Structure 1
Amino acid sequence: MEEERKDIILNSDMGAKVIDVLHLIYKTYHYSPKFKRKIQTLADNLQVRIKTPSRVKGTRWSPHTEKALKNLLLPPQGKTNQDVGQYCIVHQHMEHLAESSANAEIKGRAKHLTKIMKSFNFLAYCHLLLDILKVISSLSFSLQTNKTILTTATSAIRSCMTDLTTMKTLPLPNGALVDLIGFLKSQNADQHTFQTVVLGGVPEIAADDDESTYDNFSFGFRRNCVTEPLSLVVDGMKKRYRSIVGEDDHDEPSKIVKALKVFHHDSWPENDLDLALYGNEAVTSLVAWFEDILLRNGCKTPAVLPEWKRMKVLSTRHDLIMGVVPDKGAIRHRQNFLMLVKIMLCLPVSSAKCERTFSTMNRIKTDVRSSLNITTLEDLIRISGEGPDILGFDPNSAVQKWLSTSRKVKLNYVGWPENCEDDD
């Protein structure tokens, strides 16, 4: 999902400005212990618990940006945006540096941050960006789970694209931007503040205005900060997942991926006649594509299509897997078609599992265990990645088997000497 985030940053003026501000804040306090100590002293005097500004230009852009925005915008626990928070602390310290710093670079940076942090458009876009990253992160997490299959991944991607497209017209319900507009509307004052920072350029917000719309924003804000960035995200997702969402079927692998989606019952037609004809060509193409694998596993390929037709009639709108495997008798009568289903269940939708496997290998094969046998290492990786959860594992059977074995491996551990005298 990093590509969608790059589209927001590199092709949106306001997005680039937000990242620049977050990076300058991180740079100011990360490379200067003096400034970090001063802002902590300021926070202690105001009895505010602040978080260390995090970087945004890391390898994982989306999580880093989301964390940096939350650290800057969200109020401390137990407080609201009406109270002093980290946004106010950073702004006050930048005002102090803009007046007292002898370094021209630091002074210019502080003046720039002080001015832009008072802008309502900047603050509103930060909250909108937080909502966008929330939707994208939700999709990213769902694609990284081991239980995600092709059909559920397709539904998750389409749902994410629908949410982002809807956000062009309406803000995310219960999102950060809606909370910001609701907070500013509740002030009913000539001067609007956010964590005691006086904002400039705030539009008129009447008490009866609906905060769940963009009606209070200017046309330029809606075009440059809402419509264009969201269009870039959606277009980027369509380009990246075109073979999964059905936007591209020019090459044969993309056609096969599209054909596998007929197993998802949500796409089945309601009409009985349409249902009888639905997916027949797709199943035929799948049998031809995976013919070698099916034949090696004893599949009778001519029987797959008739089993598919019978399964549609008997399973109707129920869950596919529960419908085709209700009992052992059904498995025996549909075992040829089930091989196609098993192939669909085995197809990975992301490389997250491979990345976790490499992390597991690095965690197991450390410097002090560098002489592990390849077979042992592979077994340990499989146990760690595919084995049961440690809390649900019962070791009694393994212990009893080891105790009942005549030949036991003797572990020659060297204990620590009991009478160990100090070198002193």
Structure 2
Amino acid sequence: MAGFGSDGAAVMVGRRNGVAAKLRGDNQKLVNIHCIAHRLALASAQAADGITYLMKFKDLIGQLYRFYEFSPVRTAGLKNIQDVLNSRVKLVQAKDVRWLSHNQAVIALKRTYAAVVTSLEHEATERNEATARWLATFLATLQFTATLLMLCDILPLLSKLKTVSDANVTATIEALRTLKSTPGSNFRDLDQFLKDSSTVANIRYSHAQMDQFMKSIYLPFLDNIIKNLQERFPDVMRLSAFNIFNPIEADIDQQHNLQLLCEHYTTEVASLEEVEKEYSVLTTLLKSQYNALTTTQVLQTVQKVHGDTMPNLAKLAAAMAVLPVSTADCERGFSSMKRVKTSLRNRMKESTLNNLMISMEDPPAEEFNFHAACDSWAGMARRRLNVI
């Protein structure tokens, strides 16, 4: 067993009695990986902990979505106003369990902010909706608009951190530190945003109010994100060491990465000198013959083609090929199962459920042979309908 991937539950990653700790007791070379995508989501979501207003902001985004989602009449009214203002954008649901969904939610709200405020005021006036009046009042404040634009600058940086490596995490942290002294483009355009929205939300503020926002919300939030990223990705350096098989990084000095891998897999590979000799040959191949291959294809090639001439690198390639850096695949399976096996279909057989869910791993629709599938289905039994 080369690697073990899981979520962050104590039963999985507990230091003493967790599954990973038990497995590592029998295999010291086991690489335990708390799902990288999950950690990234936690790092961004929990950065708001301790900042009272951001917790309230997250709740309000959810209430705003539900206010329209569960009422066709309100949704239709919002769409009519959006058509008039040329801002037809659908509100997005933000949930912590949906990794970094707040990014899409705040961007969508920013694009249709004026229409939403107008719609809420209309609902409060015409239908005497107390919830709409409260939401409209909350949205038409400096704290809300400044927080909205702040998140439009910060969350995209985290969303782009899909390939987690030592370099990517470091670059993201540096970008976040830069925002502390030089705010992003969205936040710098706060005055213009308020001016464009002045017809629905006449928001004015003083320098003292902006200073208070920076001290109580903006800077603490950035500090929390940076701290969370540093604490939740302590083992990124070991995983990023496998970049030795990435053709794009063939020109980079990989001495440090080779040393890390040799130190971890001391019983599986030979000395560092032997590994370096093999890698010097592989580097030449990565630059000349394998520069168009993906990392996965390089791993397969090293194992199948160069297993005899590069035995040490072949073992490292085999280890990397099975490291479960994310649990997104199985989480996607749970979501698919929930869509298929609903409360009204709770007696569905396991075989039927498997057949309905197999489409998760099917080829793209344009590559599927529908005629062959139709012929196969028609030949299984006599049908009342004629299949053409």
Q: TM-score range by the shorter chain?
A: 0.5 to 0.7
1:123 maps to 145
2:106 maps to 69
Give, as a single letter, the amino acid of the residue that structure 2 aligns with 1:18.
Answer: F
Is residue 12 from structure 1 mapped to residue 51 from structure 2 by the alignment?
yes
The structure-2 alpha-carbon separation of the partners of 1:137 and 1:14, relative to structure 1 and needing over 3 Å to count, comes to: same
Structure with higher RCO (Cα < 8 A, 6+ apart): 2
Q: How does 1:261-410 map to 2 (within 5 A)?
A: 275=255, 279-280=258-259, 282-288=261-267, 291=268, 301-302=269-270, 305-314=272-281, 319=286, 322=290, 332-358=308-334, 370=349, 372=351, 381=358, 385=361, 389=364, 391=366
Is residue 183 from structure 1 mapped to residue 192 from structure 2 by the alignment?
yes
The structure-2 alpha-carbon separation of the partners of 1:95 and 1:243, relative to structure 1 and needing over 3 Å to count, comes to: same
Question: In the TM superposition, what is the alpha-carbon distance from 1:350 to its structure 2 partner?
Answer: 0.6
Q: 2:250–2:286: 8 Å Cα contact kept in structure 1?
A: no
Work out which of the residue numbers 81, 87, 97 in structure 1 matches 2:113.
87
Is residue 159 from structure 1 mapped to residue 171 from structure 2 by the alignment?
yes
Question: How far, CA to CA, are the matches of 2:103 and 2:116 in structure 1?
Answer: 18
- Structure 1, unmatched stretches of 5+, are 75-85, 144-151, 185-190, 205-215, 246-255, 292-300, 404-408, 419-424
Q: 2:258–2:272: 8 Å Cα contact kept in structure 1?
A: no
Q: 1:131–1:176: 8 Å Cα contact kept in structure 2?
A: yes
Sequence identity percentage: 20
Question: How far, CA to CA, are the matches of 2:302 and 2:313 in structure 1?
Answer: 14
2:384 maps to 415
Q: Deviations over 1:72-125 (max 9, x none)?
A: 220xxxxxxxxxxx42333234445556765xxx44x45543444333342122
Q: 1:259–1:286: 8 Å Cα contact kept in structure 2?
A: no
Question: How far, CA to CA, are the matches of 1:363 and 1:170 in structure 2?
Answer: 44
Q: 1:305–1:337: 8 Å Cα contact kept in structure 2?
A: no
After superposing the two structures, state which structure 1 stretch, 88-97 or 322-331, moved more.
322-331
TM-score by length of 1: 0.59
Question: How far, CA to CA, are the matches of 1:93 and 1:363 in structure 2?
Answer: 32
1:210 maps to none
Is residue 29 from structure 1 mapped to residue 68 from structure 2 by the alignment?
yes
Which structure has the greater CA radius of gyration? 1
Q: Deviations over 1:365-424 (max 9, x none)?
A: 9979847499x969x95x963x7545457899x99xx99xxxxx9621322289xxxxxx
Which secondary structure state, in structure 1, belongs to the residue aligned with residue 320 of structure 2? helix
Q: Deviations over 1:282-341 (max 9, x none)?
A: 4143132xx4xxxxxxxxx54x64431213444569859949969998653213332212
Question: In the TM superposition, what is the alpha-carbon distance from 1:347 to its structure 2 partner?
Answer: 0.9
Question: How far, CA to CA, are the matches of 1:6 and 1:328 in structure 2?
Answer: 43
Q: How does 1:18-57 map to 2 (within 5 A)?
A: 18-31=57-70, 35-36=74-75, 39=78, 46=84, 48=86, 50-51=88-89, 53-57=91-95
Give, as a single letter, the amino acid of the residue that structure 2 aligns with 1:22.
Answer: I
Question: How far, CA to CA, are the matches of 1:14 and 1:334 in structure 2?
Answer: 57
The size of the alignment, in residue pairs, is 333
Question: In the TM superposition, what is the alpha-carbon distance from 1:229 to its structure 2 partner?
Answer: 0.6
Question: In the TM superposition, what is the alpha-carbon distance from 1:136 to its structure 2 partner?
Answer: 1.9
1:222 maps to 214
Question: How far, CA to CA, are the matches of 2:220 and 2:274 in structure 1?
Answer: 48
Is residue 194 from structure 1 mapped to residue 168 from structure 2 by the alignment?
no
Question: How far, CA to CA, are the matches of 2:276 and 2:260 in structure 1?
Answer: 12
Q: How does 1:239-254 map to 2 (within 5 A)?
A: 239-245=231-237
Question: In the TM superposition, what is the alpha-carbon distance from 1:169 to its structure 2 partner?
Answer: 2.3
Question: How far, CA to CA, are the matches of 1:314 and 1:217 in structure 2?
Answer: 62
The structure-2 alpha-carbon separation of the partners of 1:395 and 1:233, relative to structure 1 and needing over 3 Å to count, comes to: same
Question: How far, CA to CA, are the matches of 1:365 and 1:119 in structure 2?
Answer: 44
Which secondary structure state, in structure 1, belongs to the residue aligned with residue 385 of structure 2? coil
Question: How far, CA to CA, are the matches of 1:98 and 1:411 in structure 2?
Answer: 60
1:209 maps to none
Give, as a single letter, the amino acid of the residue that structure 1 aligns with 2:155.
Answer: L
Question: How far, CA to CA, are the matches of 1:391 and 1:417 in structure 2?
Answer: 25
TM-score by length of 2: 0.64
Give, as a single letter, the amino acid of the residue that structure 1 aligns with 2:323.
Answer: L
Q: 1:365–1:377: 8 Å Cα contact kept in structure 2?
A: no
Which secondary structure state, in structure 1, belongs to the residue aligned with residue 144 of structure 2? helix
